[in-house]
Amino acid sequence: MEKILITGHKNPDTDSICSSIVMEKIAKHFGVNAEAVRLGDLNKETEYVFKYLNKEPQRMIEKVDDGQKLILVDHNEAGQSVENRDNAEILAVIDHHRITDFKTPTPLYYFAKPVGCTATILYEIMTEKKIEISKEDAILLISAISSDTLLLKSPTCTKEDIDAFNELEKIAQIDAKTYALNMLKAGTDISDLTPETIVELDAKLLEEGGKRIIIDQVNAADINDVFSRKDEIEEAMNKEIKDKKLNLFIFVITDIINTNSKIIALGDSTDIVEKAFGQKLDSDNSMMLEGVVSRKKQIVPPIVKNL
């Protein structure tokens, strides 16, 4: 039987990695020959999950063959997808993001909900279809929900996410909040990463209104742990702007304890950032955004609105 590949987005985060694996189980439940794959290295937060579970992550791929059948999780935008997606066949999408450029020549399953995490949608599908959730599945799903909602504190977090988290905690039989805080903290350690890696870690490319914009987000237990490396990070950002012909690069440092963010903005279109947030960038190209933690809900929409 032909194998269907399940992938999350490029620069995979914990939701993309963990939801692909759980989706493989759901697909197999329905008799589909599916394999979860990933489009990049694990970040340290996701590494923590696999160490905790004493489990190997799925295999990595970069592109797919013409005609490959795909299930997409945690994204739908072409720019975030596997290479050669245009020549593949998308059978299903399970996602919690905006839909802007999505088109297919054939009908498909599309599960979208404006919840905080793809894993929450998978939890609901498993519950509805009475698919058994193992302890390991529960920990994978808790990890994804905690990552995407900053432990249920992000404005993207919904009642569905909280309900899923609480039910999964019972199945996992762990203190999920303690586990998740340790996981988030593991993800903030970027001390041994080069600035080139840091600016690509969780970078998302937006192509809209004739602009090419990258927004990269890193979590920190203390903003200064990252901001103290501003000079080398800016150098790497400027290289990305040149190499990828960007109009704007926004680097977001998110304080996971106090739930604030500080951004650094570079490029020829930084005026968009000033308009979007109604404040001027400081002379060091930075801006403090009080209460902002969600790229999806609090950064992308005002940016897009001001293009």
CA Rg, the chain, in Å? 19
Residue type, 65: D
CB closest to Mg ion, residue no: 15
Closer to Mg ion by CB, 40 or 267: give it: 40
Residue 115, token pair as written in the block: 């919840």
The candidate with the shortest Cα–Cα distance to 295, out of 233, 246, 252, is: 252
C-beta closer to Mg ion: residue 15 or 24: 15
- 216 near Mg ion, judged by CB under 5 A: no
301 - beta bridge partners?
none
Torsion sign over Cα 189, 191, 193, 197: positive
Using the minimum distance from each CB to Mg ion, give the nearer residue, 118 or 146.
118
Site for Mg ion in 102-121 (CB under 5 A): 118
For the bound state, the minimum distance from the C-beta of residue 102 to Mg ion, rounded and expressed in Å, comes to 16
Q: Shortest distance, CB of residue 217 to Mg ion, whole angstroms? A: 7
Residue number with CB closer to Mg ion (13 or 255): 13
Q: How far is the CB of 66 from Mg ion (least distance, A)?
A: 26
* Residue 74 binding Mg ion, by CB under 5 A: yes
Based on the shown chain and the rule CB under 5 A, indicate whether residue 13 belongs to the binding site for Mg ion: yes
Structure tokens at 86: 């245009």
d(CA 41, CA 123): 25
Q: Does 148 bind Mg ion (CB under 5 A)?
A: yes
**Can you name the residues that pair with 205 across neighbouring β-strands?**
214
Q: CA 287 to CA 44: how far, in whole Å?
A: 26
When asked if residue 169 is in the footprint of Mg ion (CB under 5 A), the reply is no
Piece of the chain touching Mg ion by CB under 5 A; list 40-48, 50-58, 67-75, 175-183:
67-75
| Angle ∠(45,138,96) on CA atoms, nearest 5 | 70
Would you tell me which residues interact with Mg ion (CB under 5 A)? 13, 15-16, 74, 118, 148
